[in-house]
Amino acid sequence: MSTGKTALITGITGQDGAYLSELLLSKGYTVHGIKRRSSSFNTSRIEHLYQDPHVEEPRFILHYGDMTDSTNLIRVVQETQPDEIYNLAAQSHVAVSFETPEYTANADAVGTLRLLEAIRLLKLGDRTRFYQASTSELYGLVQEVPQRETTPFYPRSPYAAAKLYAYWMVVNYREAYGVHASNGILFNHESPLRGETFVTRKITRAAAAIKLGLQDKLYLGNLDARRDWGHAREYVRGMWMMLQQDWADDYVLATGETTLVRDFVAKAFELVELPLEWRGSGVAETGVCARTGQTLVEVDPRYFRPTEVDLLIGDPSKARERLGWEHGTKWDALCAEMVREDLIAVAREQRCSAE
């Protein structure tokens, strides 16, 4: 059943785009999404939501576009006249941003400005509410723990610096032009849909592949980083809640618990019954299977970052008190869900390659 509300999601093919699409469709929204042209299939996360565009009044519609193309963004916003825009599109990989700093700034920083300008130019400021995918990476070098909305920012990567620009443009368009624009300062959130090069998914996929005999070893970078990991499905609900408020504002979404990368690794391998013992230290540290003595995890300095964010732990009190937002999934349950799904996925791939 349609509520008559229309949302436009940039980054609809990503992890959060897929969960947010499901949520908004379940609430009766018509959902428009911007996807990039790609030479390979990039819509696997939203395939189950796809609707034949020839059906009468489809409620899930994709448009080609790119955050680096302002004419495209203005046209899509004009055509769709959204009540809500969720700006999730980004070059979202912190390590990759050191390799592609200019592109990251173009897509993540100026891309956000382009969308805000589209709202202004098209005089949609009274109609269209705006959500910006801001990030705990803004906190960077630790200034205060736990990190909250008032904690000073200290970005430590081209990605974080680009997102800092976007953060302040959102605040500026709210204050200068009265746009209902909110920053969700989201701490790391994961799921079985997480991209395979982010550390949690890299770990759970490797644990499954090693268990099933498809991979020998997992190479990782900094095992001593600490992250506040929650479940993506719960975080997209918080995004929607922010846009249902009478007043736009900025909110931290986090669990309030932090975990070492090495503990996430140990949990994932324990779940596939390959319990690890850590031996050595620094770049020589290894994770050895306590049962077989086989080395399953090694440190590879190529995954170290020029500047690292050592500790993230968020305080979600404001979101809890003002939005009524709650998170439910703890990091170990999240890890278990991801391992379970990766065991199924890897086994399926194994069967396909054997056929």
Is residue 258 within the footprint of ligand GDR (CB under 6 A)? no
By CB under 6 A, the residues from 107 to 166 that bind ligand NDP are: 107, 133, 135
Q: Which of 29, 86, 139, 159 is catalytic?
A: 159
Is residue 67 within the footprint of ligand NDP (CB under 6 A)? yes
Question: Which of 186, 252, 296, 297: binder of ligand NDP (CB under 6 A)?
Answer: 186
Distance of CA 349 to the CA centre of its chain: 25
Q: Which of 80, 84, 137, 329 is catalytic?
A: 137
Residue number, 287 or 314, with CB nearest to ligand NDP: 314
- At residue 247, the 3 state secondary structure works out as coil
As measured in angstroms, the least distance from the Cβ of 84 to ligand NDP is 16
| 31 CB neighbour count, 10 Å cutoff | 30
Residue number, 308 or 332, with CB nearest to ligand GDR: 308
For residues 32 and 35, give the distance between their C-alpha atoms in angstroms, rounded to a whole number: 10
> Is 135 known to be catalytic?
yes
Q: Which residue is nearest to ligand NDP (CB)?
A: 14
For residues 355 and 352, give the distance between their C-alpha atoms in angstroms, rounded to a whole number: 5
For residues 56 and 71, give the distance between their C-alpha atoms in angstroms, rounded to a whole number: 28
Question: Which of 9, 67, 220, 274: binder of ligand GDR (CB under 6 A)?
Answer: 220
Is residue 182 within the footprint of ligand NDP (CB under 6 A)? no
| 25 CB neighbour count, 10 Å cutoff | 17
Residue number, 21 or 135, with CB nearest to ligand GDR: 135
As measured in angstroms, the least distance from the Cβ of 286 to ligand NDP is 28
As measured in angstroms, the least distance from the Cβ of 229 to ligand NDP is 8
- At residue 37, the 3 state secondary structure works out as coil
DSSP string, 129-157: EEEEEEEGGGT-S-SSSSB-TTSPP---S
Site string for ligand GDR, 117-156 (x = CB under 6 A): ------------------xxx-------------------
By CB under 6 A, the residues from 177 to 196 that bind ligand GDR are: 187-188
> Is 159 known to be catalytic?
yes
According to DSSP, residue 56 is labeled S
Contacts of the segment 269-278: beta carbons below 8 A, 24+ positions apart:
269/207, 269/210, 269/296, 269/297, 271/207, 271/335, 271/336, 271/339, 272/207, 272/208, 272/210, 272/211, 272/339, 272/343, 273/211, 274/207, 274/210, 274/211
For residues 197 and 317, give the distance between their C-alpha atoms in angstroms, rounded to a whole number: 31
> Is 270 known to be catalytic?
no
Residues of the shown chain interacting with ligand GDR in the complex, contacts defined by CB under 6 A: 92, 94-95, 135-137, 187-188, 197-199, 202, 220-222, 225, 227, 261, 303, 305, 308
Active-site positions read 135, 137, 159
